[in-house]
Amino acid sequence: MRKLTFLAVLSLAVISCGSEEPAATTPADEPVATTVDHSQHETTTSDVTGDTSAADSSGEPTIEISGFAFSGPTTVSVGDTIRIVNNDSAPHTWSAEDGPFDVSVGPGETATYTFEEAGQFDYFCRIHPSMKGAITVEG
């Protein structure tokens, strides 16, 4: 009987190792690592949402990076300092197409940038070029 029980447990272990599903569940309050296939994700300027005064608890306008997409204000004023928060597990940049900023933000990090000139700035992530957005800086 012991041999049969041992073989059953061994068989389950081998099957679990080859399975794509996890053998055990994780409590809901514990973080779970996931893998994202970035080759299928496409972000456009329409993914940039939020009202023009979006700000976090610091009171500063905030661009959030999450799910390999930018979100946050589409309009700020000259002199405003904007926070760039990377909520993804991968590094990103917040880089102007033809403008003054090129900010690198690691996973879980926050960076800031102060606008000193008015204009329309199209931006993207140099690491993931399909991530795009635009912001207007009013004088």
pLDDT at 133 over 50: yes
pLDDT in tens, 37-79: 333 333 222 233 333 334 556 689 999 999 999 999 999 999 9
Let me know if residue 63 belongs to a domain.
yes
Task: Assign residue 100 the CATH number of its domain.
Answer: 2.60.40.420
What whole-number distance in Å separates Cα of residue 77 and Cα of residue 96?
A: 17
How far does Cα 84 stand from its chain's mean position? Answer: 11
Q: Which domain holds residue 111?
A: 43-138
Find the angle CA(74)-CA(84)-CA(35) to the nearest 5 degrees: 105
Give the pLDDT of residue 55.
54
pLDDT at 10 over 80: no
Let me know if residue 29 belongs to a domain.
no
Give the pLDDT of residue 57.
61
Taking residue 37's Cβ as centre, other Cβ atoms within 10 Å add up to 6
- The full length of the chain comes to 139
| Residue where the block lists tokens 């606008």 | 115
What whole-number distance in Å separates Cα of residue 125 and Cα of residue 65?
A: 10
pLDDT in tens, 105-121: 999 999 999 999 999 99
H or E segment to which residue 17 belongs:
helix 2-18
Phi (first) and psi of residue 68, to 5 degrees: 55, 45
Give the number of domains in the chain: 1
Give the pLDDT of residue 59.
80
User: Who's near 134: CB < 8 A, 6+ residues apart?
Assistant: 45, 48, 74, 120, 121, 122, 123
Let me know if residue 90 belongs to a domain.
yes
Query: Identity (one letter) of the amino acid at 52?
Result: T
Let me know if residue 103 belongs to a domain.
yes
pLDDT at 131 over 90: yes
What's the DSSP call for residue 50? Answer: S
Let me know if residue 107 belongs to a domain.
yes
Give the pTM: 0.60
Give the pLDDT of residue 71.
97
Let me know if residue 72 belongs to a domain.
yes
Let me know if residue 49 belongs to a domain.
yes
Let me know if residue 82 belongs to a domain.
yes
